[in-house]
Amino acid sequence: MKKFFRLFVVAQFIGLMCLINQATTYGKGLGTTGAQFLKVGMGARPLAMAGAFSAASDDVNSIYYSPASLTRSEQKEVSATYLKYFEDVNAGFIGYTGKCCEKHYIGAGITYLQVTDIEERDIDETKLGDFGATDIALFLNYARKDIANKVLENLAVGGGLKLINQTIDDEKAFTVALDLSAYYPADKNLSFAFNIQNISYGVKFIDETDPLPLNIKAGAAYKALKDLTVAVDLDEYIIDNKLYASIGAEYWIKNALALRSGYRFGYDVSSLGGIVGLGVGAGVKIWGVTLDYAFVPFGDLGDTHRVSFGAKF
């Protein structure tokens, strides 16, 4: 009973930290899935655009948002992101993408969310000490372009395998999940993306198995001007019964300085305030090296900051 109660308390704590990003007016099924950290966006560039990125992605963030979009970059790339979250929760992402041979592209990355120094209490609220919890996911992606030219020219498809490990004190859980993705450039200015994320049998702690947050993601991106891209994404979390709509924009100045902003609809603005859902940020690119920053406020809950460093070679 003591171990079960401890796991229950920690699971609720971590769920709250991750679900702050997911608090929504459509949340009839709030908290009904496990591994909620998979819903926390990582890269500074996409989060500055409020997550409207699946069809706009042309960098290492494709690992997370749209594996098929790996085919948009002909260079190798490495990237690292750090996120300062709420209540001393830290998260990060490290990724690599590259072209392994003609028409074949690969990506690999690891993301984590960690919280330490959580008070352990029994059912009578007696303090028993401190412990921590860590969530880790390893991403292994593959994509190929021009796979069906006779049916739909320039169509790219991709897939991703996620190896997920969760630790709460001395209890561990492991599962795998699958992502399926397609990217289609309709013309030189307009592109579309479609993804099914987190296909899995679920994750099991002790005797309880929870499904993962299955997501149907669809996006479009339009290059309105030479240096201005406008993008939209829809995310439908099937089991959680949550719907989000994101719109974002990115404007490059002399291909060296990027200004980004966006808004994600679907949060509970009555509880978190009208500013929740906003994303703003900027990026600098010099000789293939990029530094991106995103500011994502959450009203009375506080603000989050993401910093990403990347290099193409």
The strand pair at 90-101 and 104-121 is best described as: antiparallel
When pLDDT is averaged across residues 97-108 and rounded to a whole number, the result is 90
- Extract the runs of DSSP E, i.e. beta strands, from the chain: 77-84, 90-101, 104-121, 127-145, 156-168, 171-185, 190-199, 203-205, 208-210, 215-225, 228-237, 242-253, 257-265, 278-286, 289-297, 303-312
pLDDT of 150 > 80? The answer is no
pLDDT of 7 > 60? The answer is no
pLDDT of 110 > 70? The answer is yes
Here the tokens at position 48 are 């500055």
CATH code, 9:
2.40.160.60
Query: By residue range, what is the domain housing residue 47?
Result: 2-312
Question: What is the share, in percent, of the chain residues with pLDDT greater than 70?
Answer: 82
Question: Tens digits of per-residue pLDDT, 52-80?
Answer: 999 999 999 999 999 999 999 889 999 99
- Residue whose C-alpha is closest to residue 192's, from 35, 55, 51: 55
pLDDT value of position 202: 87
- Residue whose C-alpha is closest to residue 85's, from 119, 120, 47: 47
Question: Tens digits of per-residue pLDDT, 157-193?
Answer: 999 999 999 988 778 889 999 999 999 999 989 999 9
237, 38 contact by CB (below 8 A): no
Here the tokens at position 142 are 């593959």
Cα separation, 295 vs 44, whole angstroms:
8
Total domain count, the chain: 1
pLDDT bracket for residue 9 (50, 70, 90): very low
When pLDDT is averaged across residues 75-103 and rounded to a whole number, the result is 87
Quick one: 83 exposed, middle or buried, by C-beta within 10 A (0-12, 13-18, 19+)? buried
Q: Which residues sit opposite 307 in a β-bridge?
A: 82, 293
Question: What is the share, in percent, of the chain residues with pLDDT greater than 90?
Answer: 55
